[in-house]
Structure 1
Amino acid sequence: MSHSMVSETVEVTGHDDTPIETYVAHPANDARRGAVVVIHHMPGFDRATKEIVRRFAELGYDAACPNLYHREAPGADPDDAAAAARATGGVPDDRLLGDVAGAARYLRSLPTSNGRVGVIGYCSGGRQAVLAACRLDVDAAVDCYGAFVTGTPPEGYPLQVRNLVPLLGDLRCPLLGLFGNDDRFPSPEHVDELEGLLREHDKQFEFHRYDDTGHGFFAVNRPGYRVAAANDGWDRITAFFAHHLSGE
């Protein structure tokens, strides 16, 4: 672990060569290391997400989180930016892929890079992390309670996306999934379906489910936060990335 770090907001070239506000953090040393792209939850590019980016730097990674709502509301309060994004049905998949690819490219361009990049996402970002793992060159992916990897959004739901069932056979890297058994999106049945499809496609994955736990259990500033599940989840994320992102 690194106990001294640097964090800042930079511009990273995202989808369609658009400069995207991106929060980055990294250990204050020149050691070669892996990197992590953090995909924020539906509430947006907020303080809690930036704390997660810094946590990965403390764990010894270069980390970056692109503001996926930058185009809708540049410089806006995270709540206002999230509302603007929800009004349009969420972030289009192609744009998401371009922005995450840009963040991964930025991280690999750093002189400390060992070439390995993982991706992790929370809430809507969990689905987007799986999408990135199916379509982009990443080395490991973590899905934290991503809705609609399987299943379909109900009528009136603010996130208008398709599930990823047709893409799961293209999963390119190991996947860690962390889910609450009291969640509705994804429900235990959705997670069962995802597990079955990954087995059918002979993919490398590891799922953990938590009783008495619903959606958003990593979010320390929200009512759904669950200390035991979050602590165990962080232990598993730490071990997973250490295994898949270390080395030259």
Structure 2
Amino acid sequence: MKDLIRDAESLLSASAFSEGVDRRVFLKAAAGGGFAVAALPVVAQTQIQTSTEGLDAADHIVVVNGQDVPVYRAQPKDRTNLPVVLVISEIFGVHEHIKDVVRRFAKAGYLAVAPDLFVRQGDATKAPDTGTLMKTIIAKVPDAQVMTDLDTIVKWTRQRGGNTDKLGITGFCWGGRITWLYAAHNKDVKAGVAWYGRLVGETNPLQPKHPIDIAQNLKVPVLGLYGAKDTGIPLESVERMRTALDAGNSRSRIHVYPNSGHAFHADYRPSFNAADAKDGWAKALDWFSKHGVA
């Protein structure tokens, strides 16, 4: 819990696959139309807005073990056999910025999906403040639950024209940590890009491992993108991760931006660094292309 709260403070300064179940839903309440309530104190003007022109984009429900899991999907119109990218959100859930990232990947030729991985614990978009969000929702999300949800959603993307032989994953902050873990969990992942995800911390029954614990045996190449001025993820932990990856002869790499802090890709927040976000995006697309997700 202490590590989760520290993450929050830095933010502020398949199992059972129901084949054929695909119910389009109108999910405009909170997440669909804007930003998480808890994120509002740090929301600035969104600087990047990606249209749906040329895309097939929609909200869906994927049923996982009897639970309705909302998913936002975007892909180029009238195309199939597309490489698949899982987009894993920050703690604030699948709000408009995350949906925009999904559309950016679709514009680049991907079938991209962003699932609400907090749905069983509560609605992250409606939490009144970050402290409440962390304690009542985020801290209660088991890693095992997340892995199962993602396994099922990967299967679901095949019905939407996705080629899961070309599977990638990317995530931001909370989702960055999940990116490292899912790359270790699912050997079918071809590559991952983890944006400023937590690497070390206390373990508990819901979070039995952190990225540092899987680094030496990680076979899937993951690109880690971090900011040197990130007060929640100190460089010491980033260097520990780099050392552990090198010890395992991993193909994974870490890039640190000296002038950025946490959430430098989040163009709706004051932490946004346009130059580094642009460079990171280019690196992410290049990483996926080089490692079979294109």
Same fold (TM over 0.5): yes
Distance 1:222 1:79, change over 3 A: farther
Return the match for 2:287 from 234, 240, 244: 240
In structure 1, the residue matched to 2:112 is: 63
Distance 1:239 1:43 in 2: 27
- Code of the residue aligned with 2:194 in structure 1: it is D
The reply on whether 1:27 has 2:112 as its aligned counterpart is: no
- Code of the residue aligned with 2:77 in structure 1: it is A
Distance 1:189 1:95, change over 3 A: same
Q: Which structure's CA Rg is the greater one?
A: 2
Higher deviation after alignment, 161-170 or 199-208: 161-170
Return the match for 2:157 from 107, 119, 140: 107
The reply on whether 1:144 has 2:195 as its aligned counterpart is: yes
| Consecutive aligned runs of 4 or more in structure 1 exceeding 4 Å deviation | 78-85, 159-162
> CA offset at residue 169 of structure 1?
3.2
Query: Structure 1 stretches of 5 or more lacking a match?
Result: 154-158
The reply on whether 1:38 has 2:87 as its aligned counterpart is: yes
In structure 1, the residue matched to 2:177 is: 127
Distance 1:39 1:48 in 2: 12
- Code of the residue aligned with 1:61 in structure 2: it is Y
Question: Aligned ranges for residues 127-206 of structure 1 at < 5 Å?
Answer: 127-136=177-186, 137-147=188-198, 149-152=199-202, 162-206=209-253
Distance 2:193 2:220 in 1: 10
The reply on whether 1:48 has 2:92 as its aligned counterpart is: no
Q: Is residue 169–residue 191 contact of structure 2 (8 Å, CA) maintained in 1? A: yes
Distance 1:202 1:109, change over 3 A: farther
> CA offset at residue 165 of structure 1?
2.8
- Code of the residue aligned with 1:93 in structure 2: it is D
Higher deviation after alignment, 204-213 or 108-117: 108-117
How many residues align structurally? 238
Which digits, 9 at most, give the CA deviation of each residue in 1:82-138, with x for residues without a partner? 744542414210011111112222223433426211010100110011000111131
> CA offset at residue 206 of structure 1?
2.1
Return the match for 2:60 from 10, 28, 31: 10
Q: Is residue 121–residue 141 contact of structure 2 (8 Å, CA) maintained in 1? A: no
Q: Is residue 216–residue 246 contact of structure 2 (8 Å, CA) maintained in 1? A: no
Equivalent pairs: percent with the same residue? 29
Q: Is residue 182–residue 215 contact of structure 1 (8 Å, CA) maintained in 2? A: yes
The reply on whether 1:219 has 2:219 as its aligned counterpart is: no
> CA offset at residue 167 of structure 1?
2.2
Q: Is residue 85–residue 91 contact of structure 1 (8 Å, CA) maintained in 2? A: no
The reply on whether 1:117 has 2:150 as its aligned counterpart is: no
Distance 1:12 1:85, change over 3 A: farther
Q: Is residue 53–residue 65 contact of structure 1 (8 Å, CA) maintained in 2? A: yes
> CA offset at residue 48 of structure 1?
0.5
Which digits, 9 at most, give the CA deviation of each residue in 1:122-161, with x for residues without a partner? 00110011000111131111110001x22449xxxxx977
- CA root-mean-square deviation: 2.5
Task: Name the SS for the 1:42 alignment partner.
Answer: coil
Distance 1:40 1:122 in 2: 6
Query: Structure 2 stretches of 5 or more lacking a match?
Result: 1-51
